Chain A
Amino acid sequence: MERSRLFGLFVLSLALAGAQALTPAHYLSLPDVARLQNLLSQQFTGLDSAYYSVVGLSKLGATIPDHEGVCQFLKSQLDPMSIDSLFFAAETSQAISGCEIPVSNETRDILLAAVSEDSTMTQIHRAVSALSSLGLPLASQEVVGALTGRINKEDNVMAITLALQTAARLSQQTELGGILEEIEDLTARLDDLGGIYLQFEEGLEATALFVTAAYSLSDHVDMEPPLKEDQVIQLVNSIFSKKSWDSLAEAFSVASAAAALSNNRFHVPVIVSALGPATVSHSQPTLQLLVTDVMSQPLALANVLVESAYSVASKSVILSHASFTLNDGVFELNFMSSRPASGYYQFAVAVTGDTRLVGNHVELKVKVSTEVVVNNMDLSVVDKDQSIGTKTTRVDYPSKGKSSFTADSHQNFAMAFQLVDVNTGVELTPHQTFVKLHNQKTGQEVVFVAEPDSKNLYKFELDIGERKSEFNSISGTYSLHLIVGDATLENPILWNVADVVLKFVDEEAPVAIQPKTLYVPKPEIQHLFREPEKKPPTVVSNTFTALILSPLLLLLILWLKLGANISNFSFTPSTILFHVGHAAMLGLMYVYWTHLNMFQTLKYLAIIGSVTFLAGNRMLAQIAVKRIEKK
């Protein structure tokens, strides 16, 4: 049931792409409503969950069990000093019958004190709602002043939505023009997603609560909210597209929005969907539609009529201004009485009867299906040079030809038939008309397409000689099947018409056709990993290391012979610092090789280098001075 309704919705949304008027793509179907009620029927964990559950269920029109128990729970959990506690208890008590929350003077004072510009918007909303539900007097003008002041300070979506909701609880004489303007401001803040969804970036809960508050206030002051039809439908799409809700508060907001949209004075979105697949045929001639509000409740006053219905293929109009009859909650129309040919039809359906209806022009695609029968099936074997007269055999559906036909490469095998609609006698051209030849011994199948001529008579000719490659030149007995199928046919046909013996010249040895070996394990790939390079033996490396170091020895010997010495070494601080720094730099090189990366090395080098440079500069200057003095 749900799948067929989803299919109806899918067809609807396909039509949506082409339609100019927007129609709702998402709504709460009966299973969705049941799921929502289930979520709201959970055990109470506190006053807030009791509020969401009880008030949410009452908005969905569900019965709340055990009013006494709920009332007891409220009274036991109530904290008379807390505004939130009073709000939840008061609102919930209004939803069930015969529950009075005791009120003291202190309670009243606390609630009245909360109505000021210095409290948060949530506090003002809860205090005003509690005062209103408990039947306590409140100064509406003061509330308006507090709200206006608060809106300036808290300029976010949730706060302004709460302000709207609060204003709806005030007396009718109050001047609410300023607050009413906020609806338009908030509407401007909604994000349009692809022309289909309209929602706040704050999320689903904010959007749903806004819709509830906007309609609540609009009903209260009896002024139409500044929402265009398309915007209302986009809001419906956004709010009801989510089918499982994360929290009780979210579920409550969706339930409130659903109630607001089904029952307000200005805009009621209409959901039109086909009951079952949108198909009619001779066995089922009526098209059945369900027309409901967003909560899948049938609309009380509604007239459904087809403005026009035209064939998709020929664009000719079949129906114009025909109305549906209401039969046990379902709107029915006998479409077959208009004698439509099989195929697809585009219906433009309009729902009237209530000026509040929104999204009430819907496009629906309806399929008319029929049954087919094969007439005048004539089989013959024709000689190519037409010297021998043709012998035509008539085979009647669904029986098989008594004798088998024999044909060889000099001949053509011919088939002619008609496909006719059982009910109307009209010739049909279905999408699939195939002729299949199946070799009984080897299992090979060859399929051809049969084409209709201008008079819708199907003809098929098989030139044996020309087509021998398709058959792999394998002679033998082939069973001939006719396959007919189409989306609009209720009885697809697979008919074994006759057996045909084909004789090919230069025949190969019959080879049994192997099924394609796609899914057997493939041969394993041997991957050759890159072999590490051969290293020379350690002896060789060690020998050469020693060899390389030997010139150093030679250098030292040569220097000694030349008389190089460090007798001029002066123990000045700059000299020592220079040599230490230089040694450190060389040490850093070694550490760089073993541990560090370039960045760290450069950092250390900069430090040591600058020290060494300064010291070296000093030292070399001193040496230069000494050298010039010596001269």
Chain B
Amino acid sequence: MSNSVISVISRFLEEYTTTTPNKLKVVDSYLFYILLTGALQFLYCLLVGTFPFNSFLSGFISCVGAFILGVCLRIQINPQNKGDFLSISPERAFADFLFAHTVLHLVVMNFIG
């Protein structure tokens, strides 16, 4: 059982490193960073406590929001999905990404306290 899991994972990793274009890998590493940050924040909350709760929420929501926006960006600039996003160029996707991030940061900063 574990054998097949390991083989699946290794195959996945191999395909990933060979087939994904560099641009997407850059975005993926950004997403991974966001994920780690969010996970560490959650760990702190679990271990030490929820004080101050509003700060924890704002930080965590910031990570979650950034992750989602990053995923959206990745989907939109992926050349394989070009058919689904005919009217949206990668530059347009990036501009949307920046604008959404501005709004997210505004909200997060308001709540961080």
Task: Kindly list chain B residues whose C-beta atoms are within 8 Å of the C-beta of A617.
Answer: 95
Within residues 30 to 68 of chain B, which ones have a CB less than 8 A from any CB in chain A? Answer: 30, 32-33, 36-37, 40-41, 44, 48-49, 51-52
Q: State A533–B51 Cα separation when bound (angstroms).
A: 7
Instruction: Indicate if the CB atoms of A562 and B26 lie closer than 8 Å.
Output: yes
Instruction: Indicate if the CB atoms of B25 and A589 lie closer than 8 Å.
Output: no
Q: State A621–B90 Cα separation when bound (angstroms).
A: 11
Task: Kindly list chain B residues whose C-beta atoms are within 8 Å of the C-beta of A536.
Answer: 48-49, 51
Instruction: Indicate if the CB atoms of A605 and B102 lie closer than 8 Å.
Output: yes
Task: Kindly list chain A residues whose C-beta atoms are within 8 Å of the C-beta of B25.
Answer: 562
- Footprint of A on B, CB under 8 Å? 22, 25-26, 29-30, 32-33, 36-37, 40-41, 44, 48-49, 51-52, 89-92, 94-95, 98-99, 102, 105-106, 109-110, 112
Task: Kindly list chain B residues whose C-beta atoms are within 8 Å of the C-beta of A605.
Answer: 102, 106
Instruction: Indicate if the CB atoms of A589 and B98 lie closer than 8 Å.
Output: no
Instruction: Indicate if the CB atoms of B40 and A548 lie closer than 8 Å.
Output: yes
A555 within 8 A of B: yes
Q: A605-B102, A624-B91 are in contact. Are A558 and B29 (CB under 8 A)?
A: yes
How far in angstroms is the closest Cβ of chain A from B43?
8
How far in angstroms is the closest Cβ of chain A from B90?
8
Q: A585-B102, A609-B102 are in contact. Are A554 and B89 (CB under 8 A)?
A: no
Q: State A373–B51 Cα separation when bound (angstroms).
A: 84
How far in angstroms is the closest Cβ of chain A from B95?
6
Q: State A48–B39 Cα separation when bound (angstroms).
A: 90
Instruction: Indicate if the CB atoms of B26 and A559 lie closer than 8 Å.
Output: yes
Instruction: Indicate if the CB atoms of B98 and A616 lie closer than 8 Å.
Output: yes
How far in angstroms is the closest Cβ of chain A from B113?
9
A426 within 8 A of B: no
Instruction: Indicate if the CB atoms of B109 and A544 lie closer than 8 Å.
Output: no
Task: Kindly list chain B residues whose C-beta atoms are within 8 Å of the C-beta of A559.
Answer: 26, 29
A13 within 8 A of B: no
Beyond contacts A536-B48, A547-B44, A551-B37: 20 other A-B pairs, Cβ-Cβ < 8 A, are A533-B52, A534-B51, A544-B40, A548-B37, A548-B41, A554-B32, A554-B36, A555-B30, A555-B33, A559-B26, A562-B22, A589-B105, A592-B106, A593-B112, A605-B102, A616-B98, A620-B91, A620-B94, A621-B91, A624-B91
**4 nearest A-B pairs in the assembled complex, by CB-CB distance:** A620-B91, A555-B33, A551-B36, A558-B29
Of A534, A551, A592, A613, most B-chain CB atoms within 10 Å: A551
Task: Kindly list chain A residues whose C-beta atoms are within 8 Å of the C-beta of B98.
Answer: 582, 616
A535 within 8 A of B: yes
Instruction: Indicate if the CB atoms of A620 and B92 lie closer than 8 Å.
Output: yes
Task: Kindly list chain A residues whose C-beta atoms are within 8 Å of the C-beta of B26.
Answer: 559, 562, 564
A540 within 8 A of B: yes
Which of chain A's residues has its CB closest to B36's CB?
Answer: A551
Q: State A144–B2 Cα separation when bound (angstroms).
A: 121
How far in angstroms is the closest Cβ of chain B from A331?
84
Which of chain A's residues has its CB closest to B49's CB?
Answer: A536
Mask: chain A, 490-502; 1 = CB below 8 Å from B; 0 = not: 0000000000000
Instruction: Indicate if the CB atoms of B51 and A535 lie closer than 8 Å.
Output: yes
Task: Kindly list chain B residues whose C-beta atoms are within 8 Å of the C-beta of A404.
Answer: none
How far in angstroms is the closest Cβ of chain A from B28?
9
Instruction: Indicate if the CB atoms of B44 and A544 lie closer than 8 Å.
Output: yes
Q: A554-B36, A620-B95 are in contact. Are A544 and B48 (CB under 8 A)?
A: yes
Mask: chain A, 571-596; 1 = CB below 8 Å from B; 0 = not: 00000000000100110010011000
Q: State A554–B106 Cα separation when bound (angstroms).
A: 26
A511 within 8 A of B: no
Within residues 600 to 619 of chain A, which ones have a CB less than 8 A from any CB in chain B? Answer: 601, 605, 609, 613, 616-617
Listed A/B pairs (30) with beta-carbon separation below 8 Å: A533-B51, A534-B51, A536-B48, A536-B49, A536-B51, A551-B33, A551-B36, A552-B33, A554-B36, A555-B30, A555-B32, A555-B33, A558-B29, A559-B26, A559-B29, A562-B22, A562-B26, A582-B98, A593-B109, A593-B112, A598-B110, A601-B109, A605-B106, A609-B102, A616-B95, A617-B95, A620-B94, A620-B95, A624-B89, A624-B91
Q: State A623–B93 Cα separation when bound (angstroms).
A: 13
How far in angstroms is the closest Cβ of chain B from A382?
81
Q: A593-B109, A609-B102 are in contact. Are A558 and B44 (CB under 8 A)?
A: no
Instruction: Indicate if the CB atoms of A563 and B22 lie closer than 8 Å.
Output: yes
Which of chain B's residues has its CB closest to A590's CB?
Answer: B109
Q: State A563–B26 Cα separation when bound (angstroms).
A: 9
Mask: chain A, 550-569; 1 = CB below 8 Å from B; 0 = not: 01101100110011100000
Task: Kindly list chain A residues whose C-beta atoms are within 8 Å of the C-beta of B92.
Answer: 620
Instruction: Indicate if the CB atoms of A558 and B32 lie closer than 8 Å.
Output: yes
Which of chain B's residues has its CB closest to A545's CB?
Answer: B44
How far in angstroms is the closest Cβ of chain A from B88?
12
Task: Kindly list chain B residues whose C-beta atoms are within 8 Å of the C-beta of A564.
Answer: 22, 26
Q: State A296–B94 Cα separation when bound (angstroms).
A: 96
- Select A554's contact among B22, B33, B44, B109, beta carbons within 8 Å: B33
Instruction: Indicate if the CB atoms of B109 and A589 lie closer than 8 Å.
Output: yes
How far in angstroms is the closest Cβ of chain B from A611?
13
Q: State A630–B109 Cα separation when bound (angstroms).
A: 41
Q: State A547–B109 Cα separation when bound (angstroms).
A: 21
Which of chain B's residues has its CB closest to A628's CB?
Answer: B89
Mask: chain A, 534-546; 1 = CB below 8 Å from B; 0 = not: 1110001000100
Task: Kindly list chain B residues whose C-beta atoms are within 8 Å of the C-beta of A547.
Answer: 40, 44
Q: A533-B51, A562-B22, A585-B102 are in contact. Are A623 and B29 (CB under 8 A)?
A: no
How far in angstroms is the closest Cβ of chain A from B45?
10
How far in angstroms is the closest Cβ of chain B from A357?
79
Task: Kindly list chain A residues whose C-beta atoms are within 8 Å of the C-beta of B95.
Answer: 616-617, 620
Q: State A613–B37 Cα separation when bound (angstroms).
A: 29
How far in angstroms is the closest Cβ of chain A from B39?
9
Task: Kindly list chain A residues whose C-beta atoms are within 8 Å of the C-beta of B102.
Answer: 585, 605, 609
